[in-house]
Structure 1
């Protein structure tokens, strides 16, 4: 199965490519799986091997990937092959349009997969774009969110992230309803 997607990121290319030298955060942003461990993926170069152990969110399958950096062209291309029962080949292309960069990701999966996988690839790209923008801001608020992302969010499973989002939405809705009740009760509407 071949998947592809692209996204514009409002950052110059030189601020984007260094993020991919350490593969761990990139893999942790994938909504398909929870990264259990990653070994040998610090400041990669062409030909480097690394180990990636993940638990797929929908199936709960544990997979140990033997990864290889097949191609690495600074500022232009990263190609990674993940070897296991089902081979995955992921290529990221980097384009530049002034102050905006275009990130295009292609993935070849050995099995047939499901239509949801295209949506998950698009979600992965959006997560990477949002993280890169957050990483390149220098405000106290963005530093807090980056700390939260690195220490808590990226360590959670995708289903755990969804649960946190639902709880926050439910609590915020309850708080808004409480405020509306107070306004109606005391204002006499």
Structure 2
């Protein structure tokens, strides 16, 4: 992290072609982009569409990011550019404790180097950095589903896109709790069956 006009936090990952292609789709949608965080609840409305590059989504989502906007509306603007084989996109928000998020993709030895840089107006606290680190880990694991083959990974892609990314953090926690309880009940049921069979044979 360096200090200049603000404070900057960067993280990078190498993506194979399928993951890089999916990353390019994800960063065009700021709502999906933020919902990878296990901490933030993104509540979205729709405002007037500003002038913006044609390869970015139309409309201007407005809403809240809980807990960070303190329930105050947030807004954003977007820009993108291409320099040869390099692609950049930037999201700028108001009403949240970060100023801008810059995404850069550049080819590197048959793969794509994805770099995410978050600009803060002031030095962020440890909790905010932890939230961004968790966000990036979730995004990276999601992109890996597209880099790997197999039925299991394809199934998880569907679960992530149709269920997980549409849920709030509290809904995700409830879903995980229900799955754990269901798994425990199944284990107890199997144990009861085994005990019954042992007793019956004895």
Q: Which range, TM-score by smaller chain?
A: 0.7 to 0.9
Matches within 5 A, 1:81-92: 81-84=92-95, 86-92=97-103
Separation in 1 of the partners of 2:81 and 2:13?
A: 20
- TM-score (norm. length: structure 1): 0.73
* Matches of 1:107 and 1:3, distance apart in 2: 5
Q: Distance in 2 between matches of 1:60 and 1:78?
A: 23
**1:7 pairs with one of 13, 20, 24:** 13
Please give the alpha-carbon distance, in whole angstroms, between the structure 2 residues aligned to 1:151 and 1:61.
Answer: 28
Task: Give the alignment's TM-score, normalised by structure 2.
Answer: 0.69
Counterpart mapping for 1:80-159 below 5 A: 80-84=91-95, 86-110=97-121, 112-134=123-145, 144-159=155-170
Q: Which moved more, 1:165-174 or 1:36-45?
A: 36-45
Q: Which moved more, 1:133-142 or 1:31-40?
A: 133-142
Asked whether 1:33 is paired with 2:40, we answer yes
Structure 1 pair 98–85 and aligned structure 2 pair: CA distance change class (3 A): closer
Provide the residue aligned with 1:66 in structure 2.
Answer: 75
Q: Secondary structure at the match of 2:27?
A: helix
Contact between 1:22 and 1:43, CA under 8 Å: does it hold in 2? Answer: no
Q: How many residues align?
A: 186
1:79 pairs with 2:90? yes
Stretch deviating more after TM superposition (157-166 or 99-108): 99-108
Output the CA distance in 1 between the equivalents of 2:177 and 2:60: 35
Q: Does 1:56 align with 2:66?
A: yes
Contact persistence 2:69–2:95 (CA under 8 A):
no
Q: What is the Cα-based RMSD across aligned positions, in Å? A: 3.6
Q: CA 1:86–1:139 in structure 2 vs 1: closer, same or farther (change >3 Å)?
A: same
* Structure 1 residue ranges without an equivalent (≥5): none
